[in-house]
């Protein structure tokens, strides 16, 4: 896709995310914040965390018709769709994934994830400091917005 489509997608997703933060009620709409980037206590999108030497694994359940606006991952990582069916849109593509499958996720993309069926997927990230502090860990693996990601790349 050309650069204008990419910019338009990023702008539209950023606006959607900002609008959702305004109307989030903690029940039917939940959002992460800079202080708590990943919502772990939501009935809408239950998340389990697992830690091992140098690795962080996050299991997320998405119920049918749930939509997640993903954070921007800073590093290449892999995710596994264990059950269900997801549609993932990013600035240059829209793709359907049917379990079981795995995906190498490139860094730098803002994604919209739609659960076409009840789905469970697992993200695997590096965790070289072995931290179990979720705020610290999230700051090392994701950027909450495009500007933060661009700054991360600039300072890398």
Over residues 3-21, the pLDDT tens digits come to 554 568 777 777 777 776 6
Most distant CA pair in the chain: distance in Å?
42
Rounded alpha-carbon distances, angstroms, from residue 17 to 3, 149, 155:
21, 16, 25
- Residue 31, pLDDT above cutoff 80: no
pLDDT at 1: 45
Looking at the DSSP bridge assignments, the partners of residue 101 are 81
pLDDT category, 87, cuts 50, 70, 90?
very high
pLDDT at 140: 93
pLDDT at 6: 59
Instruction: Record the pTM.
Output: 0.81
- Round to whole Å and give the CA distance between 40 and 143: 17
pLDDT category, 35, cuts 50, 70, 90?
low
% of the chain with per-residue pLDDT over 70: 81
Residue 34 vs residue 80, higher pLDDT: 80
- Considering just the CA atoms, what is the radius of gyration of the chain in Å? 15
């Amino acid at each position: 896709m050309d650069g204008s489509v990419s910019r338009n997608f990023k702008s539209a997703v950023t606006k959607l995310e900002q609008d959702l933060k305004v109307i989030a009620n903690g029940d039917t709409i939940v959002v992460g914040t800079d202080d708590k980037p990943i919502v772990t206590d939501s009935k809408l999108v239950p998340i389990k965390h697992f830690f091992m030497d140098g690795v962080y694994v996050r299991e997320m359940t998405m119920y049918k018709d749930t939509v997640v606006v993903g954070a921007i991952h800073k590093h290449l990582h892999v995710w596994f769709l264990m059950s269900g069916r997801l549609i993932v849109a990013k600035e240059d593509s829209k793709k359907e994934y049917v379990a079981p499958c795995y995906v190498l996720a490139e860094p730098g993309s803002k994604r919209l994830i739609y659960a076409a069926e009840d789905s469970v997927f697992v993200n695997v990230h590096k965790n070289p400091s072995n931290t179990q502090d979720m705020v610290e860990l999230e700051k090392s693996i994701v950027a909450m917005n495009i500007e933060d990601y661009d700054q991360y790349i600039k300072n890398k």
